Amino acid sequence: MVFNGLMTAPTLQTTSFIGGRHLPTLKTYPNIDPATGDLIGDVSRASADEVDRAVAAAAKAQREWRRSSPEQRSTLLVAAGTRIRANREELARLESEDTGKPLTQAYADVDVCARYFEYYGHTIEAYYGAQIPMADDMHVYTRREPYGVTGHIVAWNYPLQLIGRAAATSLATGNCAVAKPADETPRTTVRLAEIIQEAGFPRGAFNVVVGLGAEAGDALAKHPGVAHLGFVGSTATGSLIAHAAADRVIPTVLELGGKSANVVFPDADIDGAVPSLVRSFIQNAGQTCSAGARLLVHASVHDEVVEKMGRAVAEITVGRGTDDPGLGPLVSSRQLDRVQGFLNELDPAQVAVGGGRPAGLGGVLENGAFVSPTIVTGVDPAQRIFHEEVFGPVVAVSTFEDDEEALALANGTEYGLVSAVWTRDLSRAHRLAHEIEAGQVFVNTYGAGGGVELPFGGYKKSGYGREKSIEAFDEYTQTKTVVIKL
């Protein structure tokens, strides 16, 4: 995929990008196409030594970068966004091949990645400290200063979006960064590092170590030169990251699991809601932390909602992501096994739609990690599928009789990332938006994380800290108070 200055020919090995150079290794692992099971290429298995080199490169670059002006950062961030858009076709295809997601969704991910660089490039010049009135003979003000080297370990479901928002925020606030993409989806992060350097950032401002989480990811999380950690992934791994950060007393931003609920009341515009209800659990093959994986619907409209969703699901095409179907494969055969494990626990009568492998897949797709869009009804809160992440195109449907039961069900998991309320009653909408324990609550729409401008993060075991929006600047800077006796 990349060309290394130390080599004499292009290689199919996806390598780490450190200090502006590619570093191939002898130890590699295979990158597998989730739609076919075929080999895409090899990926370097970065060691702790490469993580050391990456952190050192970032620290060296940060000594220069921390003195840059907001105007200089703004110019380069916007330039990076422009270059991301110029490479839209290449980035989308890489993203689609690695993750299996349909090309339309991969294009959207590229656009959002570019938008992060543009948005933070446009807003960093308006971010500053405050003057604090204290006494006539005292001048007191605050400064927002960078941490230094930030480390970022991200999940495989939205590689470009996740690393784009982290890199753009870190660089905008004067930090430099080292990223570790997921084992399964390294290529767009490496390409993004090349683009950032092409835009004019200092060498080493943004570095990428590729490899296995247990090796390169663990080394990055524990590295003494990293002053701030960001992680996107499972709650179990997030807990390990938090422990590693606590051992060194450094801040973290954790975006973890979710079991988000759409709550549909009988006065909702059901025909208007159905497209969003379906999209919320099949987008990215359901591999979204903020997916609408639970559907809580009033008993009086349950049958209507399920029947209309079933009709919509029947129209969804399934295939290889690069052919741009409505639904692509899961990211790996391991993930397919996980999803199938949840479905195997169910009473067959609960599976109203789907529940197995899509019909008609053959040829090169015979070994792909495909699962049909699945609607599971009659879900009891005691069932595992009600309160644990499936991370596949599966929605668990439960009924309620009144507002209090709906609220109890919505808050009835250890997660609190996103929820949505579907009703024409504005009093009910405001009341539930206040009472639901989630970082984002939508009313009569569902954003699955929302736009670049919206603070994003969780309650409870969905994590802490906020990405996106100007609020993210606070996560990547520390406050210094200056007091001057006049």
pLDDT per residue as tens digits for the range 228-285? 999 999 999 999 999 999 999 999 999 999 999 999 999 999 999 999 999 999 999 9
Tokens 């971010």, residue located:
127
Torsion sign (Cα): 339, 340, 345, 351: positive
Asked if residue 72 has pLDDT above 70, the reply is yes
Q: Comparing C-alpha atoms, which of 134, 128, 139, 89 is closest to residue 111?
A: 89
Mean predicted confidence (pLDDT) in 33-49: 96
Mean predicted confidence (pLDDT) in 438-460: 91
Do the domain assignments include residue 7? no
Mean predicted confidence (pLDDT) in 339-368: 93
The dihedrals phi and psi of 380, each to the nearest 5 degrees, come to -90, 140
State the pLDDT confidence band at 440, using cuts at 50, 70 and 90: very high
Residues 153 and 180: beta-carbon distance below 8 Å: yes
Do the domain assignments include residue 457? no
pLDDT digits (tens, 9 = 90+) for 77-129: 999 999 999 999 999 999 999 999 999 999 999 999 999 999 999 999 999 99
On the 0-12 / 13-18 / 19+ scale of CB atoms within 10 A, 333 is middle
Asked if residue 9 has pLDDT above 80, the reply is no
Shared-domain flag, residues 473 and 444: no
**pTM across the whole model:** 0.94
Shared-domain flag, residues 77 and 194: yes
Asked if residue 449 has pLDDT above 90, the reply is no
Burial 370-403 (b: 16+ CB within 10 A, else e): bbbbbbbbbbeeebebbbbbbbbbbbbbbbbeeb
Q: 3-state DSSP: the chain helix, strand, coil percent, rounded to 5?
A: 40, 20, 35
The DSSP secondary structure of 367-421, one letter per residue, reads TS-----EEE-S--TTSHHHHS---SSEEEEEEESSHHHHHHHHT-SSEESEEEE
pLDDT digits (tens, 9 = 90+) for 153-178: 999 999 999 999 999 999 999 999 99
Asked if residue 448 has pLDDT above 80, the reply is no
Radius of gyration of the chain (CA): 23
Please give the biggest Cα pair distance in the chain: 80
Residue 363 is predicted with a pLDDT of 85
In a 3-state reduction of DSSP, which class is residue 478?
Answer: strand
Mean predicted confidence (pLDDT) in 350-369: 91
Asked if residue 225 has pLDDT above 80, the reply is yes
Roughly what angle, to the nearest 10 degrees, separates helices 103-123 and 88-99?
120
Asked if residue 3 has pLDDT above 50, the reply is no
Residues 355 and 338: beta-carbon distance below 8 Å: no
Q: How far apart are the C-alpha atoms of 200 and 5, rounded to whole Å?
A: 19
Q: How far apart are the C-alpha atoms of 469 and 169, rounded to whole Å?
A: 9
Do the domain assignments include residue 4? no
Shared-domain flag, residues 302 and 250: no
Mean predicted confidence (pLDDT) in 329-356: 96
Q: How far apart are the C-alpha atoms of 162 and 284, rounded to whole Å?
A: 14
Q: Of all residues in the chain, what percent carry a pLDDT higher than 70?
A: 97
CATH number of the CATH domain containing 328: 3.40.309.10
Pairing of strands 459-460, 39-44: unpaired
Shared-domain flag, residues 160 and 213: yes
Do the domain assignments include residue 86? yes
User: Which range, of 9-23, 181-195, 291-305, 471-485, averages the lowest pLDDT?
Assistant: 9-23
For 5, half-sphere exposure in the C-beta direction (CA atoms, 13 angstrom radius) is 6
Shared-domain flag, residues 281 and 201: no
Query: Which residues pair with residue 398 across a beta bridge?
Result: 296
Asked if residue 361 has pLDDT above 90, the reply is no
Asked if residue 464 has pLDDT above 60, the reply is yes
Q: How far apart are the C-alpha atoms of 426 and 199, rounded to whole Å?
A: 47
Asked if residue 357 has pLDDT above 50, the reply is yes
In a 3-state reduction of DSSP, which class is residue 252?
Answer: strand
Query: Which residues pair with residue 440 across a beta bridge?
Result: 418
Shared-domain flag, residues 240 and 265: no
Do the domain assignments include residue 197? yes
Shared-domain flag, residues 180 and 291: no
Shared-domain flag, residues 235 and 292: no
Residues 290 and 418: beta-carbon distance below 8 Å: yes
Do the domain assignments include residue 168? yes
Q: Which amino acid is at 27?
A: K
Do the domain assignments include residue 6? no
Do the domain assignments include residue 458? no
Domain count, the chain: 2
Q: Is 255 a catalytic residue?
A: yes
State the pLDDT confidence band at 443, using cuts at 50, 70 and 90: very high
Shared-domain flag, residues 174 and 288: no
Average pLDDT along the chain: 95
Q: Give the residue numbers spanning the domain of 224.
A: 13-256+465-483
Residue 185 is predicted with a pLDDT of 97
Residues 166 and 179: beta-carbon distance below 8 Å: yes
Residue 4 is predicted with a pLDDT of 30
**Which residue of the set 184, 215, 255, 389 is catalytic?**
255
Shared-domain flag, residues 178 and 297: no
State the pLDDT confidence band at 471, using cuts at 50, 70 and 90: very high
Q: How far apart are the C-alpha atoms of 67 and 174, rounded to whole Å?
A: 8
Residue 62 is predicted with a pLDDT of 98
pLDDT digits (tens, 9 = 90+) for 272-319: 999 999 999 999 999 999 999 999 999 999 999 999 999 999 999 999
Residue 362 is predicted with a pLDDT of 81
Pairing of strands 418-422, 415-416: unpaired
Shared-domain flag, residues 155 and 195: yes
Shared-domain flag, residues 323 and 348: yes
CATH number of the CATH domain containing 82: 3.40.605.10
